[in-house]
Amino acid sequence: MREQMVDRSDLRGDCGNCFGLCCVALPFARSADFAIDKGAGRPCPNLGEDHRCGIHARLRQEGFTGCTVYDCFGAGQKVSQVTFGGRDWRTADREHVRRVVEVFPVVRQLHELLWYLTEALALPAARPLRPELRRALDTTERLTRQTPEELTALDLPAHRQDVNVLLLRTSELARAGTPGRRKDRRNADLMGARLKGADLRGANLRGAYLIAADLTGADLRGADLIGADLRDTDLTDADLTGALFLTQPQVNAARGSAGTRLPASAVRPAHWTAGR
């Protein structure tokens, strides 16, 4: 089940080659995650002229926890440098900003699919599906390089569904080798669930609501976590080694410790506690 080491550096946000698109194109509402309301296409007041966040080092203290969780999967630099050829929205007209607002979320979703497909291709158990996975990855990459007009006209739900069928088959193959009973908790409501020390090896947790659940010391090796909501989930000392389709935003949204074991593709968030 162990995933091979793969380079996904181009599927991580590179703010140095982006025009702060997530701070401009995306809307957010005043809540526990954001201190203010902001509409799509309106720059965040914390965004500097250099396209950098003026409060990046203290986002959580200033009430912008949502920003510390977000990752564009590299879509920001793709849209900035490829889709719009390095044209800065600050020096463009309102029509350009409108198109950025429409295109950026589409490319972000496509890049998320690229993240999953790249991982799927690296799984030894997915060998029988590699030709199909490779075609899906190549098609998705090609779609990210379309014109703004083509991207806004794209039937994204249909493409996501096609890719999801492949990812489901990949998950089944990868989890088939997990010893013991593989729990199926797909889309389960596990908000606040007490799962301390639970054996969730190879479990299907796709789309599960694990908000504020206690997974302290839980064994999640090889579990499928695609789309699982891990906001405020306690992963202290949990083992997520080899967890399938875990993303950095999911990790950032959870709580963990030095004892939390993560897949090689995940970076330990700076806000996690030192643990025991």
> Quick one: average pLDDT of 15-35?
94
> Quick one: average pLDDT of 158-181?
92
Confidence at 41, pLDDT banded by 50, 70, 90:
very high
Separation CA 159–CA 222 (nearest Å): 26
Separation CA 111–CA 177 (nearest Å): 29
This prediction has a pTM of: 0.92
Please check whether residue 196 is in contact with residue 218, taking contact to mean a CB–CB distance below 8 angstroms: yes
Is residue 185's pLDDT more than 60? yes
Is residue 3's pLDDT more than 60? no
176 or 271, which is more confident: 176
Number of neighbouring beta carbons within 10 Å of residue 60: 14
Give residue 182's pLDDT.
75
Give residue 237's pLDDT.
97
Amino acid symbol at 208: A
What DSSP line would sit under 166-221, residue for residue?
HHHHHHHHHHTT-SS---B-TT-B-TT-B-TT-B-TT-B-TT-B-TT-B-TT-B-T
Q: What is the mean pLDDT of the chain?
A: 93
Give residue 70's pLDDT.
92
Largest Cα separation within the chain, whole Å, is 59
The tens digit of pLDDT for each residue in 106-133 reads 999 999 999 999 999 999 999 999 999 9
| 168 burial via Cβ count (<10 Å: 0-12, 13-18, 19+) | middle
Give the SS3 label for residue 139: helix
- pLDDT more than 90, % of the chain: 89
Confidence at 264, pLDDT banded by 50, 70, 90:
confident
Give residue 8's pLDDT.
76
Please check whether residue 15 is in contact with residue 51, taking contact to mean a CB–CB distance below 8 angstroms: yes
Name which of 184, 177, 189 is nearest 205 in CA terms.
184
